[in-house]
């Protein structure tokens, strides 16, 4: 229970949609969403598979709390082998489509093969069918959603789709749902595009009824909601300022990677911060921020809805960007802003809109622009090659490159590679701020040491969301640790990785963990799901998290990753922070990795010991 | 004291907890398709608006019903559909100017907000107090208080 107990298998090569019972034995071991879908994936897909070949599969999965009254219970994840990374990919998104899929009666969809022509999947409760998408191919995610709603004569249908980036093979393409939420990282949208799958449209009216104990569930979810409401971060900080609450804080700490991580503080941070989003513009007297917004079921509501000045040079001739839409989250404000030295808030907001509109990851995109700007500054790339002068700080260059990437023209074709392949092509691989070919986000490992280990060991390539030790090192959740030291960080990272894997498998949002621990999650899962005699305890969820982490690791090792891939760009290890509290420091990653392996029960090559795998039932 | 649902759209985040609570209270299932309250999303204006029955004093649905299936709950003032009487003719859905009484294909009857017998589940579930249950004679009280607070007068102590 909690689960719909039914999965949809779509063979794109044959054009068939079949219903299968959910493997309940696996559900007991891997719960749902990230864990359970990854279990299906590793059982069915060769780790050596080319991510863009028909033999790769793509799974869209909900968790047992998706579509319930648990706060933030609207999440779904996309699991595949990442186009950008070649590693296991798991990208999580909110909005409404996850809950809609669950309410249509499905736990997950497994896509396999490749359609001979563009198609989209239509789901109306238990009726699923592939439909021709010739009229949608070449369209943006925004247009695709509108056309599907119109042709279905149903404004309540929920849509996720790829934009032109996913069609054109931009290696960091997203799957965008509900206009401005996205399964963003690792190129899951690129894989979708390689299968000629344009969109998924879902309408669910069956609902979620299989809750083990409704009364206990309502008690547990109500108590957990109160914890969120009473917490300063989830109750006040995030709804008021969004994740952008961090911009000035991280900059003050000297941990804001700036101009392709040449610096750790950005003089323009204030101008692109949450506070700036609240202020009225001098130009038109309106604020960038229109309102906050929630995803399905979320009682935090950190989402930003923004509107730019219609007379801003970047949109004055483009009315489609004049309305209110998804605004800047912290990571995007950083990647499009600080990473490129750009401090024009409205320009960043528009660049973010373009990423949503055509479906590409603003973190990788912005960080790649940063690398391009550095190559331009060095004279390796020229104005003629890029199509525009591209020094650090140029908002014009940022937006022109965004348009080129979205449309797949000119230098946009080079941008499609991401920073690792692009910098290597031009002879400077050291300028890619990435791990496993995926760019790291908005926390500099010289100023927040735990995040270095987080990036280096993340199973999906550099990412903040696998073990967000910022919570501890910056905000003191659950306990304050010193961000400038490496001592204790391997254990911290490991505990965060395991707990996060459990949350990512539940259907709830990782942002709840500013207030919730597994102590808050376990009673909600236990009330929703059959768990045998043992029930769903904190200990069981932590072990489940470790099981998922090791399962992902085993897949990556079999895919060809080794210990040398658990490393940071040389810049972070050899070029000390120039200013701020971390001045003079480099990342202590080399000290942390061996200790981390040991704690994990892995050998010195980063391979899990037999005993470790046996202990976790792998 | 008669109470009334009061909706402040500016506080709505679009989380749909109200719709979930409504479907659970009335159908025992989490299913927004069955909710009697609906949140409308005006995407390009950044506005979300919860909408449900206002319990008209002179209820057109009630007057239109040919079988007297819609009756007034004396305690709450809610206009309540009596499912065992309703024949599913849908005339009430035509009579209602606001669209807030709806046919449910599963049951063959209509449904509308009945104020949950005086303890509306949507109000309890709303995390931002966008939906409140207040004195029907003073639905504007909170708005009055906010505007009163903006009047340009000094406090007596500092005058």
Nearest by CB: A207 against B21, B33, B127:
B33
Three-state DSSP state, A21: strand
pLDDT at B83 over 80: yes
Residue B53: inside a domain: yes
**In a mutagenesis test of the A interface, which of B20, B28, B105, B124 is the best target, namely the one with the most A β-carbons within 10 Å?**
B20
Closest residue in A to B128 (Cα–Cα): A299
Q: What is the largest CA-CA distance in chain A?
A: 68
Residue B38: inside a domain: yes
**In angstroms, rounded to a whole number, what is the distance separating the alpha carbons of residues B94 and B102?**
9
Could B13 and A301 be called an inter-chain contact, meaning their C-beta atoms sit closer than 8 Å? yes
**In a mutagenesis test of the B interface, which of A103, A159, A228 is the best target, namely the one with the most B β-carbons within 10 Å?**
A103
* Residues 6 or more apart whose Cβ sits within 8 Å of residue A244: A273, A274, A277, A304, A328, A329, A330, A333
CA distance B107 to chain A (A): 14
Nearest by CB: A207 against B16, B30, B45:
B30
Q: What is the dihedral of CA A562, A568, A573, A577, to 10 degrees?
A: -170
Pair of tokens at residue A467:
């073990």
Query: Other CB atoms closer than 10 Å to residue B10's CB: what's the count?
Result: 11
For residue A600, CA distances in Å to A466, A473, A497, A594 come to 15, 21, 11, 10
Could B17 and A207 be called an inter-chain contact, meaning their C-beta atoms sit closer than 8 Å? no
Measure the N-to-C terminal CA separation of chain B; round to a whole number of Å: 39
Residue pointed to by tokens 């937006």: A399
Nearest by CB: B15 against A205, A209, A296:
A296
Strand partners, A201: A122, A159
Chain A contacts of B28, Cβ < 8 Å?
209, 214
**In angstroms, rounded to a whole number, what is the distance separating the alpha carbons of residues A34 and A487?**
30
* Residues 6 or more apart whose Cβ sits within 8 Å of residue A376: A382, A383, A386, A389, A390, A391
Give the total number of structural domains in chain B: 1
Size of interface A-B (CB pairs under 8 A): 83
CA distance A454 to chain B (A): 31
Could A209 and B29 be called an inter-chain contact, meaning their C-beta atoms sit closer than 8 Å? yes
Three-state DSSP state, A314: coil
* Nearest CA among A265, A269, A267 for reference residue A577: A265
A95 Cα distance to chain centroid: 13
Chain B contacts of A206, Cβ < 8 Å?
31
Angle at which helices A589-600 and A489-503 pack, to 10 degrees? 60
Residue B131: inside a domain: yes
Determine the pLDDT at residue A310: 97
- B13 interfaces chain A, CB cutoff of 8 Å: yes
- B6 interfaces chain A, CB cutoff of 8 Å: no
- B17 interfaces chain A, CB cutoff of 8 Å: yes
Determine the pLDDT at residue B36: 98
Chain A contacts of B46, Cβ < 8 Å?
290-291, 293, 305, 307, 324
Determine the pLDDT at residue B63: 97
Q: Can you give A288-309 as a three-state secondary structure string? A: CEEEEECCCCCCCCCEEEECCC
Closest residue in A to B46 (Cα–Cα): A324
* Nearest CA among B19, B56, B18, B47 for reference residue B34: B19
- ipTM computed for the complex: 0.95
Chain B contacts of A307, Cβ < 8 Å?
46
Dump the DSSP string for A211-279.
Answer: -S-HHHHHHHHHHHHHHHHHSHIIIIIHHHHGGGGHHHHHHHTT---BTTTTBS--TTGGGGSHHHHHS
Residue B159: inside a domain: no
CA distance A294 to chain B (A): 5
- Helices (runs of H) and strands (runs of E) counted in chain B: 5, 8
Could A297 and B16 be called an inter-chain contact, meaning their C-beta atoms sit closer than 8 Å? yes
Could A323 and B34 be called an inter-chain contact, meaning their C-beta atoms sit closer than 8 Å? no
Segments of chain A scoring below 50 in pLDDT: none
Chain A contacts of B13, Cβ < 8 Å?
239, 292-294, 298, 301
Residue B128: inside a domain: yes
**In angstroms, rounded to a whole number, what is the distance separating the alpha carbons of residues A604 and A594?**
7
| Chain A contacts to B (CB-CB under 8 A) | 67-69, 71, 96, 99, 103, 179, 204-209, 211, 214, 218, 225, 229, 239, 290-299, 301, 305, 307, 323-325
Closest residue in A to B9 (Cα–Cα): A291
**In a mutagenesis test of the A interface, which of B38, B43, B50, B106 is the best target, namely the one with the most A β-carbons within 10 Å?**
B43
CATH number at residue B89: 3.30.70.20
Chain A contacts of B122, Cβ < 8 Å?
none
Could B29 and A324 be called an inter-chain contact, meaning their C-beta atoms sit closer than 8 Å? no
**In angstroms, rounded to a whole number, what is the distance separating the alpha carbons of residues A413 and A430?**
21
Chain A contacts of B23, Cβ < 8 Å?
207
* Nearest CA among A302, A357, A47, A331 for reference residue A189: A357
Could B46 and A324 be called an inter-chain contact, meaning their C-beta atoms sit closer than 8 Å? yes
pLDDT at B158 over 60: no
Could B45 and A324 be called an inter-chain contact, meaning their C-beta atoms sit closer than 8 Å? yes
Could A294 and B15 be called an inter-chain contact, meaning their C-beta atoms sit closer than 8 Å? yes
Could you tell me if A5 and A210 are in contact, meaning their C-beta atoms sit under 8 angstroms apart? yes
Determine the pLDDT at residue B143: 86
Domain extent for B106: 3-154
Determine the pLDDT at residue B155: 64
Closest residue in B to A305 (Cα–Cα): B46
* Residues 6 or more apart whose Cβ sits within 8 Å of residue A426: A375, A380, A381
Pair of tokens at residue B15:
């989380």
Chain A contacts of B27, Cβ < 8 Å?
207
**Strand ranges (E), A276-387:** 289-293, 303-306, 325-326
Nearest by CB: A207 against B23, B45, B46:
B23
Pair of tokens at residue B130:
């966008």
Chain B contacts of A68, Cβ < 8 Å?
20, 30
**In angstroms, rounded to a whole number, what is the distance separating the alpha carbons of residues B17 and A69?**
7
Residue pointed to by tokens 């392996």: A597
Query: Other CB atoms closer than 10 Å to residue A220's CB: what's the count?
Result: 21
Cα angle value B106/B109/B110 (rounded, 5°): 110
Averaged pLDDT, B17-24:
98
Dump the DSSP string for A140-174.
Answer: -HHHHHHHHHHHTT-TT-EEEE--HHHHTT-TTB-
A148 Cα distance to chain centroid: 25
**In a mutagenesis test of the A interface, which of B21, B103, B119, B127 is the best target, namely the one with the most A β-carbons within 10 Å?**
B127
Pair of tokens at residue A319:
């009315």
**In angstroms, rounded to a whole number, what is the distance separating the alpha carbons of residues A12 and A54?**
9
Determine the pLDDT at residue B157: 61
pLDDT at B71 over 90: yes
**In angstroms, rounded to a whole number, what is the distance separating the alpha carbons of residues A332 and A365?**
9
The per-residue pLDDT of chain B, averaged, comes to 94
* Residues 6 or more apart whose Cβ sits within 8 Å of residue A587: A445, A446, A449, A452, A568, A572, A573
């Amino acid at each position: 229970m909690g689960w719909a107990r039914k999965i949809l298998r779509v063979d794109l090569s044959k054009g068939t949609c079949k219903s299968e019972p959910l493997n309940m034995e696996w559900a007991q071991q891997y719960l749902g969403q990230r864990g359970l879908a990854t279990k299906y994936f590793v059982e069915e897909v060769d780790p050596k598979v080319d991510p863009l070949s028909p033999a790769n599969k793509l799974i869209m999965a909900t968790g047992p709390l998706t579509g319930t009254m648990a706060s933030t219970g609207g999440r779904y994840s996309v699991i595949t082998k990442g186009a950008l990374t070649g590693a296991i990919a798991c990208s999580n998104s909110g909005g409404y489509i996850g809950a809609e899929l669950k309410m249509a009666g499905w736990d997950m969809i497994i896509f396999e093969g490749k359609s001979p022509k563009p198609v989209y999947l239509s789901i109306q409760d238990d009726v699923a069918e592939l439909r021709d998408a010739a009229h949608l191919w070449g369209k943006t995610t925004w247009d695709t959603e509108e056309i599907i709603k119109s042709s279905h004569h149903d404004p309540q249908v929920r849509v996720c789709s790829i934009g032109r980036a996913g069609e054109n093979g931009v290696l960091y393409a997203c799957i965008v749902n509900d206009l401005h939420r996205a399964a963003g990282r690792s190129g899951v949208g690129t894989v979708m595009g390689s299968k000629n799958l344009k969109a998924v449209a879902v309408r669910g009216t069956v609902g979620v009824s299989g809750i083990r104990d409704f009364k206990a569930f309502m008690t547990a979810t109500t108590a957990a909601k109160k914890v969120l409401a009473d917490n300063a971060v989830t109750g006040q900080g995030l709804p008021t300022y969004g994740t952008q609450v961090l911009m000035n804080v991280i900059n003050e700490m000297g941990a804001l990677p700036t101009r392709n991580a040449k610096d750790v503080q950005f003089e323009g941070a204030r101008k692109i911060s949450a506070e700036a989003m609240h202020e009225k513009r001098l130009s038109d007297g309106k604020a960038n921020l229109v309102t906050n917004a929630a995803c399905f079921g979320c009682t935090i509501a950190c989402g930003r809805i923004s509107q730019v000045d219609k007379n801003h040079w970047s949109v004055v001739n483009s009315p489609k960007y004049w309305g209110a839409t998804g605004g800047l989250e912290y990571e995007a404000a950083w990647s499009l802003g600080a990473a490129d030295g750009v401090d024009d808030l409205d320009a960043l907001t528009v660049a973010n809109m373009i990423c949503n509109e055509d479906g590409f990851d603003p973190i990788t995109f912005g960080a790649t622009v940063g690398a391009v700007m550095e190559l331009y500054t060095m004279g390796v790339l020229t104005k003629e090659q890029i199509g525009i002068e591209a020094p650090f700080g140029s908002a014009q260059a940022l937006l022109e490159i965004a348009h080129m990437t979205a449309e797949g023209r000119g230098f946009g074709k080079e941008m499609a590679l991401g920073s690792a392949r692009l910098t290597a092509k031009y002879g400077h691989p050291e300028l890619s701020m990435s791990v496993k070919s995926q760019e790291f986000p908005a926390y500099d490992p010289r100023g927040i040491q735990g995040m270095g280990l987080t990036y280096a060991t993340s199973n999906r390539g550099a990412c903040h969301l696998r073990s967000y030790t910022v919570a501890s090192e910056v905000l003191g959740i659950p306990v304050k640790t010193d961000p400038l030291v490496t001592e204790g960080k391997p254990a911290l990272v490991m505990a965060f990785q395991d707990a996060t894997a459990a949350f990512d498998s539940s259907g709830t949002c990782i942002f709840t963990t500013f207030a919730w621990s597994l102590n808050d999650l376990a009673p909600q899962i236990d009330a929703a799901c059959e768990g045998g005699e043992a029930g769903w305890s904190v200990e069981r969820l932590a072990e489940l998290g470790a099981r998922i982490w090791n399962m992902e690791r085993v897949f990556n090792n079999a895919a060809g990753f080794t210990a040398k891939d658990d490393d940071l760009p040389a810049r972070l290890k050899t070029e000390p922070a120039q200013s701020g509290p971390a001045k003079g420091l480099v990342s202590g990653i080399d000290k942390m990795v061996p200790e981390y392996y040991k704690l994990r029960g892995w050998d010195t090559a980063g391979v899990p010991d037999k005993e470790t795998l046996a202990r976790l039932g792998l | 004291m008669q109470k009334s649902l009061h909706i402040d759209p500016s506080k709505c985040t679009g989380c749909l907890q109200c719709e979930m609570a409504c479907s659970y209270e009335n159908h025992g299932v989490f299913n927004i398709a069955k909710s009697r309250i609906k949140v409308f999303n005006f995407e390009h204006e950044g506005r979300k608006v919860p909408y449900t029955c206002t319990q008209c004093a002179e209820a057109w649905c009630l007057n239109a019903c040919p079988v007297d299936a819609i009756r007034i709950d004396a305690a709450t003032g809610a206009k309540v559909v009596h499912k065992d009487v309703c024949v599913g003719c849908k005339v009430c859905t035509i009579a209602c100017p606001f669209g807030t009484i709806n046919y449910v294909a599963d049951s063959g009857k209509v449904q509308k907000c009945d104020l949950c017998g005086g303890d509306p589940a949507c109000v309890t579930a709303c995390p931002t107090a966008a939906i409140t249950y207040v004195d029907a004679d003073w639905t504007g009280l909170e708005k009055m208080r906010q505007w009163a607070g903006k009047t340009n007068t000094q406090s007596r102590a500092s005058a």
